[in-house]
Amino acid sequence: MRKTALVLIGVLLMASSGFAQLDPDDDGIGVYFDPCACVNCITMDVGAQKAFLVITHPTSPLGVGGWECKMWLEGPAFMTNLELQGQALNLATPPEYIVGTVVPQINPYTYPAVVVAVIDFLITDTATPVTYWIDGVRFHSLPDKVPAYLDGADNNIIKELRQSTGGPQFPVATVNGDCAVATVQESWGGVKALFR
C-alpha cells in the first residue's frame, strides 16, 4: 500500500511539473511548440510542423495592444506561413514584425500566455538542429533595440519583452538539437537560504 501511494504521488508530481510554463518571468517572449508556452525544445520529423510565438506573463491587465520583434529560424527548415492572431496587421517586412491590433489580445485560457502568432514551418532534414531566435527590430520603439509590446490598458506605455532564454545571443527554441533553457541568476547566499 505504501509503495503504491508513493508511486502515485510521484506520477502526479511528474505530470504536473511536465506542463509548467517554462518562462516564469513577467513580460517574456519566446517560440514554443504548444500554446501554453511549456515546450521550447522538441524532436520533430521531416515535414510540415507548427510553432507558436507567445508573450508570457504580460503585466498589462488588459493584454497586448501591439508588439514588435525580429524572429527568424536557422537550420534545415523554412517558414511557410506566420498567422497573426486576433485582428492584427504587420507594418514591417518579415523577419521583422511591428504588429498593431484592433483590440488588445488577452489569453482566453487560464495559463498566463498570449499567443500572438502561429508559425507554420517545414523541416527538410533532421541531421542538424533548427533554432529560433528573437531580437529587437531595426526601427524600435524603446531606446534600446529590444522586443517590446504596447500595454493594452494604456497606448502610451510600451513595455520591454525579454527573451525566454536570457537574451538575443541564445536561441529561444530548438528542434532536433540541444535544448535552450531559461536561466535565473541567483547568488550563493540565495541558494543557501532555500535550505534554512
Summarised one tens digit per residue, pLDDT across range 100-152 is 999 999 876 656 899 999 999 999 999 999 999 999 999 999 999 999 999 99
Say what the pLDDT of residue 9 is. Answer: 39
Farthest CA pair distance, the chain: 64
Say what the pLDDT of residue 193 is. Answer: 60
How far is residue 89's CA from residue 87's CA, in Å, rounded to a whole number?
A: 7
Mean predicted confidence (pLDDT) in 4-18 = 38
Say what the pLDDT of residue 8 is. Answer: 38
Confidence of residue 24 (pLDDT cuts 50, 70, 90): confident
Mean pLDDT of all residues belonging to the chain: 85
Provide the whole-model pTM. Answer: 0.81
More confident residue, 111 or 3: 111
Q: Where are the alpha helices (DSSP H) in the chain?
A: 2-18, 188-193
Question: According to the per-residue pLDDT averaged within each range, which of 15-19, 47-51, 106-110, 166-170 is highest?
Answer: 47-51
Say what the pLDDT of residue 4 is. Answer: 41
pLDDT at 71 over 70: yes
Residue with cell 523577419: 95
More confident residue, 8 or 33: 33
The β-bridge partners of 71 are 134
CB proximity list for 63: less than 8 A, separation 6 or greater: 104, 105, 106, 107, 114, 152
Q: Which fold, 22-178?
A: Immunoglobulin-like (2.60.40)
More confident residue, 27 or 1: 27
* Percent of the chain clearing pLDDT 70 (strictly above): 78
